[in-house]
Amino acid sequence: MMRLLCAAFLLLAAVLPVAAVEPDEMLDDPVLEQRARDLSDEIRCVVCQNESIDSSNAEIAGEIRLLVRERLVAGDSDQQVLDYLVARYGDFVLLRPPMKPTTYLLWFGPFLVLLIGVVSVLVYFRHLRRAPAMPPALSAEEEARLARLLDAEAGEGGDAKQP
């Protein structure tokens, strides 16, 4: 049982992202260090493919990790640190895209698609309900025509039997 638990834990540990923070980078103040770690998780390593600076070993990621800590120690708020980086690398440096007019489609696009789907389904079912399952009864005109046709057929059949 114990062995199984250990194996499960190891498996879990293997899939967790590994932080790249070097011990000498860490701050002595645990509160500030935690803020730096949380912030680093939101900042994209600018030379990696979709990796945060917290998990990247790139030199520039290390440099930005140090910079984040320096600015936090200097008294910057989290937002000020992010603003500082956005001023240099643009929104690209943020792993969570900001909400602004150019990103509205990104944020609301999925809901828009969902809305189109819901409207399409509603229209489809309304159409189905309105379309009757049975054809409408024949009009008087059609009844008369049907009777004429049936009569004509009966007459033909009768003729064939009596030459």
Partner 1 sequence: MLRRLLYLLPVAIFAVIAGYFLWGLSPERDPGNVPTAMIDKPTPDFDLAAVPGLAVPGLATADLAGGEVVMVNFFASWCVPCRAEHAYLTAFSEESGVPLYGINHRDKPEDAAAWLAELGNPYQRIGADPGRAAVEWGVTGVPETFVIDGAGRIRWHHRGPLVPQVIERDLKPLIAALQP
Between 9 and 92, name the residue whose CB sits nearer to partner 1: 92
Q: How far is the CB of 30 from partner 1 (least distance, A)?
A: 25
Q: Using CB under 8 A, which of 10, 23, 24, 59 touches partner 1?
A: 59
- Tell whether residue 47 is a contact of partner 1 (CB under 8 A): yes
**89 scored as a contact of partner 1 (CB under 8 A):** yes
Hey, what are 138's tokens?
């024949």
Long-range CB contact pairs, 87-93, < 8 A, 24+: 89/46, 92/44, 92/46, 93/43, 93/44, 93/46
Contact 95, 62 (CB under 8 A): no
Closest approach, Cβ 112 to partner 1, in A, equals 13
Span of 14-22, 30-38, 57-65, 145-153 interacting with partner 1 by CB under 8 A: 57-65
46 binding partner 1? (CB under 8 A):
yes
Distance of CA 73 to CAs 32, 65, 78, 83, 117, Å?
Answer: 7, 12, 11, 16, 50
Choosing from 17, 90, 98, 155, the residue that interacts with partner 1 (CB under 8 A) is 90
Report in angstroms how near the CB of residue 132 gets to partner 1 at its nearest. Answer: 19
**CB environment 17-50: b (16+ within 10 A), e (fewer):** eeebbeeeeebeeeeebebbbebbebbbbbeeee
| Given 26, 27, 32, 86, the residue binding partner 1 (CB under 8 A) | 86
The contact set with partner 1 (CB under 8 A) reads: 46-47, 49, 59-60, 63-64, 67, 86-90, 92
